[in-house]
């Protein structure tokens, strides 16, 4: 995955191509997250319980 990130950071045309492909696949549809707007990620789930 790190290699992919390096490619994306060093070749902005790849990011643009991905955006174009996303738009093509969405075909005018709008992405709607399956999560409710107020849902927050459980960032404390790995904290040790005392």
32 found inside a domain: no
Helices 2-10, 12-26: crossing angle, 10 deg rounding: 100
46 found inside a domain: no
19 found inside a domain: yes
How many structural domains are present in the chain? 1
Task: Give 3-48 pLDDT, tens digit per residue.
Answer: 999 999 999 999 999 999 999 999 999 999 888 889 888 888 877 7
Instruction: Print the domain residue range for 22.
Output: 1-27
Q: Taking the CA atoms of 7, 8, 12 and 13 in sequence, report the sign of the dihedral they define.
A: positive
* Comparison of pLDDT for 42 and 1, the residue scoring more: 1
At 50, the pLDDT band (50, 70, 90 cuts) reads low
6 found inside a domain: yes
37 found inside a domain: no
Burial class (CB in 10 A: 0-12, 13-18, 19+), 40: exposed
Q: How many Å apart are CA 23 and CA 30, to the nearest integer?
A: 10
Question: Is 15 in contact with 22 (CB distance < 8 Å)?
Answer: no
36 found inside a domain: no
């Amino acid at each position: 995955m790190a290699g992919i990130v390096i490619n994306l950071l060093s070749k902005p045309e790849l990011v643009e191509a991905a955006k174009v492909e996303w738009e093509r696949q969405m075909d005018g549809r709008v992405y709607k997250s399956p999560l409710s707007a107020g849902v927050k990620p459980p960032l404390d789930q790995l904290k040790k319980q005392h």
